Structure 1
Amino acid sequence: MKIAFFSDIHANMPALEAVLADIDQQKPDFIYCLGDLVGYNVWANEVVETIRSRSIPTLAGNYDEGVGLGSPDCGCAYKTEDDKARGVSSISYTNSIISDQNRRYLKLLPRHICLDFELHAGEKLSLLMVHGSPRKINEYLFEDRPEKSLVRLMEDAGADIMLFGHTHKPYHRKLTSETDGKTRHAINLGSVGKPKDGDIRACYVLLTLDEKSSLTEAGSIQVEFVRVKYDLEKAARAVEESPLPNEFADMLRKAY
């Protein structure tokens, strides 16, 4: 079984179109979106309507939550006053352009999705999708988080495989639990529309499970990060031609 996951589109329609086209070529059995459809670019409505038209199961990201509630706060942890000012500008702009129907959709998105599988020999596997973490929609799970902390977080949530986004920096960590000896998989999807890992291409994940998949064999669960080129200049110019801060265009061009 092949499953495609993506997250953090942030109103970047050219990136979403390129990712969906690539996913369609892969012919996965299922597709899931882990949130943050809007913010930082001009195509908030178009992105939401594309996701809805394809009936892709989707979580609420912190940005979706803020816009769904009509809030002036996106729940982002900005580090500087300049970052905060740009963030206020972004969510204000998004709140001004989002349609009433799309705002209602964002407001009602679920906060997590859980899939339970039964593997060979009766082995069970629980796959949990969240935007930030199981505890908070806007908690950042960075790659350098201590292993014991991440394992404990997954055990408390009952997750053998956990997929999430929010940091815009993709990674896959295989974690051995001291409790049961199982290998748990923490997978950050990176970002479709606003990468921050120095790679300007959009990112999504393909997860493959088969009859050999097992939590006792770390390599039996296959995780592939797929990077996709898209019309980045179209996305950057759209920012520059809008009321949004031009710095958002520079972030797209440099992936930071």
Structure 2
Amino acid sequence: MIGIISDIHGNHVALEAVLSRLDQLGASQVICLGDVGGYYCEINECCETLQKRKIFTLMGNHDWYLATGESCPRSNSVNVCLDYQRSVIKAPNKQWLTSLKPQAAIGALSIVHGGWNDALDEYMVPSEHYFSNIAGTLFASGHTHVPCIWKGQNKTYCNPGSVGQPRDGDPRASFALLDGNEFTLHRIEYDIAKIQEKMKDAGFTPYFYDNLSNGSRIGGKIDSLQGLI
């Protein structure tokens, strides 16, 4: 049984809760679909936990921003958070992020951070047409922060949602399990006030962390699959 996590975004409080639950559920392996970095203030703790537990991790677009020094073209809020993380990230953790790849296969499971047309930064919505020319039967990606399972004629896709910043109106941390050929989605409550207090202590205003209480983007927008692109 494989645990699938994604979009941790520097929220180590949420990551600890999810990993503890996966241990309880008996996951034999955990994989991360990227975006260890971005948004919240515990970038080093997240990197170090994933490395210590030897969790196979993809590169997400926020990880790429941290690794390359590039800015996010869509959001000034993202760039404020990235600037903070660049100021505190330890050299070995930045080197580890730089070494990650955005796409891989774990047995029969094809994984990317974004999508199969743009592994880093595609907000994809699964469909028969989308997967018609993509080889394989099992697929998983993150990036949207909206959990879903989609089943086609002979292909199954899962987005585990976000560990560190859910955007579907449910503030609980989200993850998935793959047992054989079957995906299941899971949610778990965690101490949101704790990461909010850490953000406050790091110098951030409530604008950057109030959204965690209602499961939205920074600024309060709730996402759905239909509203992503």
Please report the TM-score for the alignment, with normalisation by the length of structure 1.
Answer: 0.80
Confirm or deny: 8 A CA contact 1:40 1:244 kept in the other structure: no
The CA deviation at 1:149 is: 3.3
One-letter code of the match for 2:54?
S
Matched ranges for 1:99-118 at <5 A: 99-116=90-107
Q: Does 1:239 align with 2:216?
A: no
Show CA shifts across 1:52-86 (max 9, x none).
01111110011111101222x146xx4xxxxx221
Is the aligned partner of 1:189 residue 2:160? yes
1:150 paired to 2:130: yes
Alignment check: 8 A CA contact 1:200 1:253 kept: yes
1:215-226 equivalent positions in 2, closer than 5 A? 221-226=181-186
CA distance, structure 1, for counterparts of residue 208 and residue 161 of structure 2? 17
Secondary structure in 1 aligned to 2:63? helix
Is 1:85 equivalent to 2:76 in the alignment?
yes
Provide the rounded CA distance (Å) in 2 between the counterparts of 1:248 and 1:7: 20
Distance 1:138 1:40 in 2: 16
Q: CA deviation at 1:194?
A: 0.3
Counterpart in 1 of 2:29?
Answer: 30
CA drift of 1:115 comes to 2.9
| 2:181 paired with 1:199 | no
Residue 165 in 1 paired to residue 142 in 2?
yes
SS of the equivalent of 1:41 reads coil
1:95 CA displacement: 1.0
* Aligned-pair CA distance for 1:222: 2.1
**More displaced stretch, 243-252 vs 20-29:** 243-252
Letter in 2 for 1:203: S
How far apart, in 2, do the equivalents of 1:12 and 1:46 lie?
A: 9
1:245 to partner: Cα distance: 4.4
Q: Equivalent residue of 1:225, what SS?
A: strand
Is 1:139 the counterpart of 2:122? The answer is yes
Measured at CA, do residues 139 and 250 of structure 1 come closer, stay the same or move farther in structure 2, by a change above 3 Å? Answer: same
1:254 equivalent among 211, 214, 228: 214
Alpha-carbon distance in 1 for matches of 2:77, 2:90: 22
Residues 175 and 185 in structure 2, CA contact (< 8 A), matched pair in contact too: yes
Q: Secondary structure at the match of 2:152?
A: strand
Q: Flag structure 1 segments of 5+ consecutive residues without an equivalent.
A: 79-83, 117-125, 177-182, 210-220
Distance 2:130 2:176 in 1: 20
String of CA shifts for 1:2-27, please: whole Å, max 9, x gaps.
11100000110110000010011111
Overall identity of the aligned pairs, in %: 33
> Conserved in 2, the CA contact under 8 Å of 1:11 and 1:37?
yes
Q: Is the 8 A contact 1:113 1:129 kept in 2?
A: yes
| Cα distance per residue 1:77-132 (max 9 Å; x no partner) | x4xxxxx221221111111111111111001102212133xxxxxxxxx3101100
Match of 1:21 in 2: 20
* Residues 160-179 of structure 1 deviation map (CA, whole Å, 9 limit, x = unaligned): 11101000000011112xxx
Looking at structure 2, the residues matched to 245 and 65 of structure 1 have their Cα atoms a distance apart, in angstroms, of: 25
Is 1:98 aligned to residue 98 of structure 2? no
1:51 is displaced (CA, Å) by: 0.4
Give unmatched runs, 5+ long, in structure 2: 217-229
Structure 1 stretches of 4+ with a deviation exceeding 4 A read: none
Deviation of residue 240 (structure 1)?
2.5
